C-alpha cells in the first residue's frame, strides 16, 4: 500500500487507512507486505508505485485524487507507468449528469485517469474505483475508502489464515526458549510475540497463524507443552 499525502507526513492527519486495509485483507487471507508513506510529489509517486507494481500482486494507493492543486496521484501513477493522463469520457459524462451545469477545471480534473485505466463500478457511490493494471487508486478520505474497498473486496479473497492465541503472565525473556524451539520445529508458522505493559492480566500475547489449520493446531499444542508451568493465563 502506498499512502500519499503531505498531511500524513506532517502529522496534521493520522493515517487510519493502512490499518484498516491490513485488517480487512488479513480477513480475506491476504498478507499486506509493505506500507510506504510518501509526499505529494510526482517523481516520488511515480517511482514508488512503479516499484510496488513490479514487486507485488496488488497495489493500493490512498490519497491525492481530489480536485485541488496537491491532488497529483493520477499524474504521478501515469508518470510511473509510462502513460499519458487522459480525460475518461465515462467519468466526464457522469460528472456532467451530477453537476447539471457547466463543469469547471476542478470538476474536469476528477475525470482524469492514466491512459488505459479500467473503471470498477461501485453501486454505493457515484464515482467508480480506478484500476491501472494491478494498481487500485483509492481516495484518502477514510469513509469513502472503506466503502470502495467493501465494493471490491471479493476480488482479493484467498484461503483464510487460522489463528490461535496464548496469553502468558511471564515476560518475553522467560519464554524466549519455548518460542525459539517452536519456530524451529514449525518453520512455516507465523508466530508473533507482543508484550503488554501495565496489564494486570497478562504480560505477553502470543499469536500463531497459518493457512493450514492442522499445522497451526499442532504448533499451538507444542508451544503450550513447552511454555513454563503456570505461565499460561488463557488461550483463544
User: Which pLDDT value is given to residue 39?
Assistant: 97
CATH number among 3.30.70.2860, 2.60.40.60, 3.40.50.720, 3.40.50.300, domain 162-235: 3.30.70.2860
Helix ranges (DSSP H) in 83-194: 89-99, 105-109, 142-152, 172-185
User: Which pLDDT value is given to residue 118?
Assistant: 97
Q: How far apart are CA 29 and CA 159, in angstroms?
A: 5
Q: Identify the CATH number of the domain defined by range 2-156.
A: 3.40.980.10
Grid look-up 457515484 returns: 126
Domain extents in the chain: 2-156, 162-235
DSSP per-residue string spanning 9-40: HTTSS---HHHHHHHHHHHTT------EEE-S
User: Which pLDDT value is given to residue 112?
Assistant: 95
Spatial CA neighbour of 37 closest among 1, 11, 72, 73: 1
Q: What is the pLDDT along the chain (236 residues), one digit of tens a residue?
A: 999 999 999 999 999 999 999 999 999 999 999 999 999 999 999 999 999 999 999 999 999 998 988 899 999 999 999 999 999 999 988 888 888 778 888 888 999 999 999 999 887 777 899 999 999 999 999 999 999 999 999 999 999 999 999 999 999 999 999 999 999 999 999 999 999 999 999 999 999 999 999 999 999 999 999 999 999 999 99
Q: List pLDDT tens digits, range 76-134.
A: 999 999 999 999 999 988 888 888 778 888 888 999 999 999 999 887 777 899 999 99
Amino acid at each position: 500500500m502506498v499512502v500519499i499525502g503531505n498531511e500524513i507526513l506532517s502529522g496534521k492527519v493520522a493515517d487510519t487507512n493502512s490499518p484498516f486495509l491490513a485488517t480487512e485483507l488479513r480477513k480475506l487471507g491476504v498478507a499486506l507486505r509493505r506500507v510506504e508513506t510518501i509526499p505529494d510529489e510526482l517523481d516520488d509517486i511515480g517511482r514508488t508505485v512503479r516499484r510496488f507494481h513490479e514487486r507485488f500482486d496488488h497495489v493500493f494507493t490512498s490519497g491525492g485524487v481530489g480536485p485541488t492543486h496537491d491532488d497529483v496521484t493520477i499524474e504521478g501513477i501515469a508518470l510511473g507507468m509510462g502513460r499519458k493522463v487522459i480525460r475518461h469520457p465515462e467519468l466526464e459524462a457522469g460528472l456532467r449528469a451530477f453537476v447539471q451545469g457547466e463543469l469547471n477545471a476542478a470538476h474536469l480534473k476528477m475525470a482524469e485517469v492514466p491512459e488505459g485505466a479500467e473503471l470498477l463500478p461501485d453501486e454505493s457511490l457515484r464515482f467508480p474505483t480506478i484500476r491501472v493494471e494491478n494498481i487500485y487508486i483509492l481516495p484518502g478520505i477514510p469513509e469513502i475508502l472503506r466503502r470502495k474497498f467493501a465494493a471490491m473486496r471479493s476480488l482479493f479473497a484467498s484461503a483464510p489464515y487460522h489463528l490461535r492465541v496464548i496469553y502468558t503472565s511471564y515476560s518475553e525473556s522467560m519464554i524466549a526458549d519455548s518460542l525459539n524451539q517452536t519456530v524451529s520445529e514449525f518453520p512455516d508458522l507465523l508466530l508473533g510475540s507482543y508484550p503488554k505493559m501495565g496489564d494486570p492480566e497478562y504480560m505477553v500475547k502470543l499469536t500463531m497463524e497459518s493457512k493450514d489449520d492442522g499445522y497451526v493446531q499442532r504448533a499451538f499444542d507444542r508451544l503450550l507443552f513447552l511454555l513454563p508451568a503456570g505461565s499460561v493465563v488463557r488461550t483463544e
